Amino acid sequence: MEGECAIFDDVIPLILKSVKVCASTIKNSSSKAKRGAFAIIAVIALVASFSFTGARLAYNVNYSGRIIATVSSKQQFNDALALVINMVGDKDVESVVEEPTFNTTVTLNENINNTQEVANAIINNTDAIVEGTTLYVDGNKVACAQSEVLEGVINSRLNAFDVEGVECTSHFAQSVTTEQGYFMASELDNTLKVQTVVSSLSVVTKMRQTTDVMVPYQSVVKTTDEQLIGYKKVAVVGASGVNRVTQDVVMIDGKVQSCTDVDSQVVIAPVNEVVIKGTAKPNASVGQAANNIGFIFPLPAGTWQVSAYYGDGRNHKGLDLRAPSGTSIYAVAEGKVVYSGWKGNYGYCVIIEHSNGMRTVYAHAKQLCCNVGDTVSQGEVIALVGTTGQSTGNHLHFEVIVGGRNVNPAPYINIG
Ligand SMILES: [Zn+2]
């Protein structure tokens, strides 16, 4: 621009000087013909100068206190105003665009702004017209705000459900699009309105997450016939393991929708618990009892001692076997538990009915280990020796009932 101005600095004074000389000559001339000739020469010189330099008459647009553009005609400003109205899409634009003043100037063609440039200049110099962004959800216009405001609110919503320390990507569940444009400042929604609209949008957040997950140990039972039924010992103490699991997680508004495993690595392998259980039947040889009933002895070998026999002076209905408190009491044969509970003088008591209709009774227990209705197998622990009910010391009161009548239990368990 400065170079072009330099042309005018040289050319315009030259033209003006020429015109002054002509005018002075014409003034001093006494001949009308001479004056006419000089006037023609002056005009030709002026036109020739303009043609030679490319300079022309134009208008500086004085708008809102400053020069905002150079137009070739006042109509060009009106054309630009029509363009602004079209860009903003609001006929109220006319009421906020100020009336410009035009200053005549001489300039080069290339210094004259095109209509779009003039329109942009009008927008940039009119506070009531602003650039903004329209928000569309599923194709419907829902808000319109300053671009920075809308962008900030949208990003804030999209990041709302990010998990700290994890790389997250997110998008809206709805189809959300934006479009930039020009608006009347008074038409823009405020931040609160934009936040309300945007906060109603659902956010789909995806992330890859790695977590350590506890792996519980299994319990493995090993049996041994070197130990009696009821023997139980933990040979190996179990320990939980840890797996490092990587998952792709999809959330909607912070609620997990799906987790897909993409990797799993063992950090610490679990140690399975090993439990040893005895299977040997106590006093199995004794079980070959009278009448081939096949009862086993109701207490572990070596724990007991007969303290009272059947039918002694007090009409004793069973056999008393003294044993330490807590000693296991075994079902002498398979059967169904028909009683397990408190039974007056018997204290805690279990009654088992066997398949042949016989019943066996186990009384004064410290603790019961079966329930009415249970089917128990031979050798299963059904109670623990105690001294509940009418009892003077820890012992098992054992009865055998055949056809509804008590019989001497001794032969059935090979005592006697
Ligand atoms: Zn007794």
Confidence of residue 39 (pLDDT cuts 50, 70, 90): low
If you average pLDDT over every residue of the chain, what do you get? 86
Q: Tens digit of pLDDT for each residue in 69-91?
A: 999 999 999 999 999 999 998 87
90 C-alpha to ligand 1 centroid (Å): 108
Distance between CA atoms of residues 114 and 70, nearest Å: 9
Asked if residue 388 lies in contact with residue 377, where contact means CB atoms within 8 angstroms, the answer is no
Q: Are residues 88 and 178 in the same domain?
A: no
- Whether pLDDT at 47 is above 70: no
Residue found by looking up tokens 């997950």 in the block: 213
Lowest mean pLDDT among 44-53, 232-241, 302-311, 371-380: 44-53
311 C-alpha to ligand 1 centroid (Å): 10
Q: Residue 148 falls within a domain, yes or no?
A: yes
Asked if residue 81 lies in contact with residue 42, where contact means CB atoms within 8 angstroms, the answer is no
Q: Are residues 311 and 374 in the same domain?
A: yes
The last residue of one of the domains, among 112, 127, 142, is 127
Q: Tens digit of pLDDT for each residue in 350-387?
A: 999 998 889 999 999 999 999 999 999 998 999 999 99
Q: Are residues 316 and 331 in the same domain?
A: yes
The last residue of one of the domains, among 167, 201, 235, is 201
Mean pLDDT to the nearest integer, 106-111? 92
- Angle between helix 115-124 and 74-88 (nearest 10): 60
Confidence of residue 92 (pLDDT cuts 50, 70, 90): confident
Q: Tens digit of pLDDT for each residue in 232-279?
A: 778 899 999 999 999 999 999 999 999 999 999 999 999 999 988 777
317 C-alpha to ligand 1 centroid (Å): 7
Q: Are residues 146 and 181 in the same domain?
A: yes
Asked if residue 153 lies in contact with residue 188, where contact means CB atoms within 8 angstroms, the answer is no
Domain CATH for 331: 2.70.70.10
- Number of independent structural domains in the chain: 5
Q: Could you tell me the residue range of the domain that residue 351 belongs to? A: 290-413
Q: Residue 285 falls within a domain, yes or no?
A: no
308 C-alpha to ligand 1 centroid (Å): 7
321 C-alpha to ligand 1 centroid (Å): 8
Q: Are residues 118 and 137 in the same domain?
A: no
Q: Are residues 404 and 296 in the same domain?
A: yes
Q: Residue 76 falls within a domain, yes or no?
A: yes
360 C-alpha to ligand 1 centroid (Å): 13
Residue type, 31: S
Distance between CA atoms of residues 340 and 373, nearest Å: 9
Q: Residue 22 falls within a domain, yes or no?
A: yes
Q: Residue 284 falls within a domain, yes or no?
A: no
Closest CA to 182 of 219, 131, 114: 131
Q: Residue 42: what pLDDT?
A: 61
Distance between CA atoms of residues 292 and 361, nearest Å: 19
Distance between CA atoms of residues 94 and 88, nearest Å: 11
Q: Are residues 215 and 302 in the same domain?
A: no
Q: Residue 315: what pLDDT?
A: 81
Q: Are residues 194 and 241 in the same domain?
A: no
Closest CA to 379 of 276, 234, 225: 225
Domain CATH for 248: 2.20.230.10
